[in-house]
Amino acid sequence: MSSSDTPTDDASGAETTPDTETASTGTPLLAVEDIHSYYGESHILEGVSLEVEEGEVVALIGRNGVGKTTTLRSILQLTPPREGRVRYRGTDLVGMGTSDVAQGGIGWIPEDRRVFSALTVAENVRIAVPKGSDVDAALAQVYETFPALEERKAAEAGALSGGQQQMLAIARGLVGENDLLLVDEPSEGLAPQIVADVAEAISAASEAATVLLVEQNLPLALDLADRFYVLDNGTVVASGDTDDVSAEDDDLRRYLTA
């Protein structure tokens, strides 16, 4: 694990990044460069930088309230950064609309699932299928991956169990034909057996898409991810390969306890 000093003079760092750094062979799929994001006047992200290469699973870990979800929201432009850049395939996303970001191939599996509770399971999947794509094929793919969802396909999503709702949220991300999936706390509030199923689903998803995974469950995060970043107080304080650390690592655990 290596500690990374986050630059405090973020604006200068961001502005000196050359614009010509476009999609070349060495360009990461996603490069978050020194972003500063706020809720109102509260400064949440204080210069977060991270990179995700195509095909990777990268975990973003840290305790509650350090800015993990805000990082994902900033990438999606739901909470647009006031400073810094978010480059996806070399293109800066800052200033774009969220729907344009999503159409570019970035999917979101949010915290608390956020399935459309008044829509049926099938409708939840259908709305995530891009316009012009084969809806029936997408539904068949989902039902093959998650047989439990086929049994409840006509049920309103609000009537599903927490685990089933998480499956549905993942399914929605899968049928979106996304190249990058932002997965936020998928194990939160789920029973251990269900967490194993969810881990399997994310693992399956990672075969089709690159994954940036926000997770407080350290063993799960390290098991699924190739690399990790540790976030604390709105900055990246550590990063490394998951092969080099264990869930018992005291340095890592220190960042996950209050």
Q: In the complex, which residues of this chain contact another protein (CB under 8 A)?
A: 76, 78, 97-100, 102-103, 108, 110, 114, 116-119, 123, 126-128, 130-131, 172, 176
Which CB atom, from 38 or from 116, has the smaller least distance to another protein? 116
Smallest distance from another protein to CB 103, Å: 4
Nearer to another protein, 116 or 255 (CB): 116
Cβ–Cβ under 8 Å, residues 62 and 50: no
Report in angstroms how near the CB of residue 135 gets to another protein at its nearest. 9
> Rounded to an integer, what distance in angstroms lies between the CA atom of residue 153 and that of residue 140?
11
Q: Which is nearer to another protein, 154 or 258 (CB)?
A: 154
Residue 67: helix, strand or coil by DSSP? Answer: coil
Q: What is the rounded CA–CA span in Å between residue 166 and residue 163?
A: 5
Query: In degrees, to the nearest 5, what angle opens at C-alpha 175 toward C-alphas 171 and 177?
Result: 135
Min separation Cβ 8 and another protein, Å:
30
Extended beta strands in 68-179, E state = 83-88, 91-92, 106-109
Closer by beta carbon to another protein, 169 or else 218: 169
Distance of closest approach, residue 117 Cβ to another protein, in angstroms: 7
Name which of 10 and 184 has its Cβ closer to another protein: 184
Minimum CB–partner distance for residue 235 and another protein (Å): 25
Confirm if 178 and 167 have CB atoms less than 8 A apart.
Answer: no
Judged by beta carbon, residue 177 or residue 232, the one nearer another protein is 177
Angstrom distance (rounded) from CA 126 to CA 213 = 24
Buried b (16+ CB within 10 A) or exposed e, 201-230: bbeebbeebbbbbbbebbebbbebbbbbbb
Min dist. Cβ of residue 114 to another protein (A): 5
Listed residue (56, 61, 60) closest to 226, CA to CA: 56
